[in-house]
Structure 1
Amino acid sequence: MDRRGFLITSTSALAAIAAQWATAPQALSATTGRRVGHQVADLFDQRLDALRHLDDHVGSWQAYDAATAELRLITSTLKDASYTGQVGHRLYGCAAEASRLAGWCAYDDGHHAAAERHFVTSLRASASAGDTTLGASTLAFWANVRYSSGDPQGALDLIDGALASSGRITSQRVLAMLYARQARAHSKAGESAAAYRAIDTALNAYGHAGPPDEDLAAMYWITAGELHQVAASAALSLGEPRRALAHFDLAVHGHDPYNAAKEARGTAIYLARHAEAYLALDELDAAVETAERALDLMGGVDSARGTSALDELRSGLLHHKDVPVVQSFLVMTA
């Protein structure tokens, strides 16, 4: 049974899992079955890229079904076909990305146990592919699940496991994501100095990144604006709403801004946090106006994370239910 919000991996096991991933052997070639070449891996890469963008637009549960179907097809190819070692590494990389995407979609829909199972599969596949960068990306996404579920130390163990192999991580965007996740974990643990140091390191790593089309296709969403959104979320968790507002402003109006048009769900979640910052400062008109924008964006996109963010914001607004502008919003969202 996969209960929603239920984690299956103990905190103490996470560091060991990350360490085992870093030393796992790579896959060899396969010599029996129908021969497949790089063109098959190319097709899987194209389909996975389309799935990532579909997740942005249609929501997690529909994309989850597609990702698990893609994983079955890739797994079948690995089992039944023959291929060179180089092609095999690419196919295992596709399997790792399909499982990583399935894990993220499961988490976004609130099924944390399923997410963790998919992340374990993704790590094993990335090790077989000999792709440290891909495995580090999976660890970063898994860390998000852990700190969001009340286990910041487990998240930090996963990040530490990824960063132990930082010399073999070829993407500065992946490194920036790892440090951003580290910052969020520290903020959830109430460790402000460590959180802000990690934000600075994330921004510095991103400053060394090349053009997006020369990076991993899966990292299309990492921008300076995204990192400022994370910094704002960390400041909010640390009880610094004014600092959060400054980062929210930089995320939208600064260099390389967050692209709200690419992902309605992510924008809605960040807007809900933006509204929380206004609420913490008793700026109720701004809080409600921002909350209404978040509500509009969530329409038609399936996301347990988005719904949870809006529910938390609504709970905060209930403390001001006698204020007319707040009362109108609460009635509208009852």
Structure 2
Amino acid sequence: MEIDRHPLTYLLHLNGWSAPHYLALLDAAHRQLGYGQITKTERKRVTRWTRHGVTPEMRAQKAMAFLHGIPEEEVAARPWPEWLKLACIRERPLLDAPWDPQTTIDLLDRVASTGGPMDRRGFLVVTGIAPVLAGVAGAEPATARPHGRRIGRQAPALFDKALAVLRRQDDQLGSGQVHASARAQLRLITSALRNNAYSDETGRQLHAAAAEAARICGWTAYDSGHHALAEEYYLAALRAAASSNDPVVTANTLAFWAIMRYSTGDPQGAADLVTDALGRTRLINSPKMIAMLHARLARAHAHAGDSRASARAQNAALDAYDQARDRTPQEDPDCVYWVNLGELQMLAGSCALNLGRPKEALSKFTAAPAALRAADAYQEDDFPRGAAIYLAREAEARMSLDDLDGAVETAHRAVEHMGGVSSARGTSTLDDLRAKLTTRKEVPLVRDFLERTA
């Protein structure tokens, strides 16, 4: 069962209910609410509700809400079937449990132990970003643990080195191959948190390492197409980041969760996450991280169709990056090793494409790299998945400008970069590009590309 299937289909599967059995339960709820017997017409509609886009009449929806323990006001507040996803939440403690270190360790242990292989089904619904951010703001910081074999600062340092390797392996190999390693690292860090003795400072560092490991798990799950699982990890990562009291790991987690949010239809939620992260930058001495956050905010605004807000954020990103030019890599957090001017230009091109400006997008994708010094240019060989995605976007821009020769040539380059990289997101991007090119398959070179890459 795919993660994006209908929530009612998921509930039937989860509980082992046949359609007739579910309708019998629904009929009982319908009667209990005083609505009488479900009509014969309604009895025929489970398949229509789940597969053919038919919306149940309101009394039937209220009976479903009653059956699944969902407040009736949620039915009024959300369209069908969005409100029904509230019945599918697997990890309610990630949303509702206290934001304290011991609870965080328990939840980290749960997602690390049960988060793979990546075949999680169902939905984790964060209905609003504000409560999550309030949890971060009110979280209790990590403290010393007196029991167990004592470990010192060398343990968090070793974890940090391992996480730096995982970040770069993901760039080269793709998320499908790195997720299991990230989970293993999260389990190891969580075990150290639970079983060893350490000081306040070491405890906070261990929570920061756990947050980054969970963040990598969330990113690799998202990149592999498992959005519900990714959201579990991002919530666990934010809890650990809040306990670490580390503004860098907190801001980085918020930024990566924002990518998933604006890419899956919630640009406002993404903007809220990045805005919160930007509020932490007074504690972060890293112009490069500030530039990255503004670039993410620009992407959220572009997905929302707000060209002015996107342009302001892009300008802020470039202004911040100007302050980073004379710094050494060691002066910035390792988690922003991938940020340079070429990357910011690629993100700006992606914004322009979202906003329906293919000519501007093409200029960002192509003109900037040629004029940049090596340290600022986008390094395609270092980031083959990212390069494939950006090249697919460039090909889409060329196609919009009726440059089919350029579109096909760029598409070939995108396919070459994806060879050997495991990424559902990258593969999906190329599939979308192929679908767009299919509309011009009467052109010989387009038809040849489609046949070669079938």
TM (norm. structure 1) is 0.96
Aligned to 1:284: 404
- String of CA shifts for 1:231-279, please: whole Å, max 9, x gaps: 0000011111111111112442233111112111000000000101100
CA distance in 1, matches of 2:399, 2:134: 42
Secondary structure in structure 2 of the residue aligned to 1:221: coil
2:125 aligned partner, one-letter code: T
Tell me, in whole angstroms, the C-alpha distance in 2 between the residues paired with 1:72 and 1:215: 27
Report the Cα distance in structure 1 between the residues aligned to 2:368 and 2:201, rounded to whole angstroms.
40
Is 2:285 the partner of 1:170?
yes
In the alignment, which residue of structure 2 is the partner of 1:247?
A: 364
> Secondary structure of 1:103's match?
helix
Question: Alpha carbons of 1:99 and 1:177: their partners in 2 closer, same or farther (altered >3 Å)?
Answer: same
Question: What is the aligned residue count?
Answer: 333
Shift of 1:316: 1.1
Indicate the residue corresponding to 1:121 in structure 2.
Answer: 236
Residue of 342, 347, 366 corresponding to 1:225? 342
- Where 1:35 maps in the other structure, the secondary structure is coil
Find the residue that maps to 1:320 and give its secondary structure: coil
Q: Distance in 2 between matches of 1:29 and 1:132?
A: 20
Question: What does residue range 36-47 of structure 1 map to in structure 2 within 5 Å?
Answer: 36-47=151-162
Alignment match, 1:67: 182
The answer to whether the 8 Å contact 1:99/1:122 transfers is yes
SS at match of 2:298: helix
Q: Is the 8 A contact 2:385 2:417 kept in 1?
A: yes
2:453 is the alignment partner of 1:321: no
Aligned residues of 1:250 and 1:257 also touching (Cα < 8 A):
no
C-alpha displacement at 1:2, in angstroms? Answer: 7.9
Q: Tell me the equivalent position of 1:14.
A: 129
Amino acid at match of 2:310: A
Aligned counterparts of 2:216 and 2:435: Cα–Cα separation in 1: 31
What does residue 111 of structure 1 align with? 226
Cα–Cα, structure 1 residues 71 and 2, in superposed 2: closer, same or farther, change >3 Å?
farther
> Which amino acid counterpart does residue 249 of structure 1 have in structure 2?
T
| Rounded Cα–Cα distance in structure 2 between residues aligned with 1:186 and 1:297 | 29
Residue by residue, what CA displacement relative to the aligned partner does 1:85-112 show, whole Å, maximum 9, x if unpaired?
1111111111011011110000000001
- What aligned pairs does 1:143-154 form with structure 2 within 5 A after superposition? 143-154=258-269
Contact 2:286 2:331 in 1 (8 A): no
Contact 2:248 2:333 survives alignment (8 Å): no
Contact 1:175 1:202 (C-alpha < 8 Å) held by counterparts = yes
Residues 55-64 or 92-101, more deviating: 55-64
Q: Distance in 2 between matches of 1:56 and 1:108?
A: 11
CA distance in 2, matches of 1:189, 1:214: 34
Corresponding residue for residue 267 of structure 1: 387
Deviation (angstroms), 1:59: 1.3
Contact 1:235 1:241 in 2 (8 A): yes
Q: Which amino acid aligns with 1:142?
A: W
CA RMSD of aligned residues (A): 1.6
- Say if 2:313 is the partner of 1:198: yes
Larger RCO, structure (CA 8 Å, separation 6 or more):
1
Q: Could you say which residue in structure 2 is the equivalent of 1:304?
A: 424
Q: Distance in 2 between matches of 1:140 and 1:7?
A: 21
Paired amino acid for 2:126: S
Percentage of pairs with the same residue: 50
Structure 1 gaps, min length 5: none
Given candidates 89, 98, 103, the residue that maps to 2:213 is: 98
Cα deviation 1:132-182 (Å, max 9, x = unaligned): 121011111001001101111111121122223332233222221211111
- Alpha carbons 1:227, 1:251 under 8 Å: kept: no
Q: Is 1:2–1:113's contact at 8 Å kept on the other side of the alignment?
A: no
1:135 aligns with 2:250: yes
Give the aligned partner of residue 60 of structure 2: none
SS in 1 for 2:143: coil
| Partner-residue secondary structure (3-state), 1:150 | coil
Point out where structure 2 has 5 or more consecutive residues left out of the alignment.
6-121
Does the Cα contact within 8 Å between 1:57 and 1:301 map onto a contact in 2? yes
Mean Cα deviation higher: 54-63 or 266-275: 54-63
Secondary structure (helix, strand or coil) at the match of 1:183 reads helix
Q: Judge conservation of contact 1:18–1:162 (CA < 8 Å) in 2.
A: no
- 1:43-100 alpha-carbon deviations (Å, 9 max, x no partner): 1111111111111112102211000110010000011001111111111111011011
Of 57-66 and 74-83, the range deviating more from structure 2: 57-66
Counterpart Cα distance in 2 of 1:151 and 1:308: 19
Q: Work out whether residues 27 and 88 of structure 1, in 8 Å CA contact, stay in contact via their aligned partners in 2.
A: yes
1:3 match: 3
Deviates more, 1:170-179 or 1:48-57: 170-179
The amino acid of 1:53's aligned partner reads R
Residues 175-230 of structure 1 show CA distances to partners (whole Å, capped at 9, x for unaligned) of 21211111111111111111111111111112222322221111110111101000
- The CA distance in 1 between the partners of 2:332 and 2:123, in whole Å, is 32
The structure with the larger Rg is 2
User: Which runs of structure 1 show a deviation greater than 4 angstroms over 4 or more consecutive aligned residues?
Assistant: 4-7
Aligned residue for 1:72, secondary structure, equals helix
Distance 2:398 2:136 in 1: 42
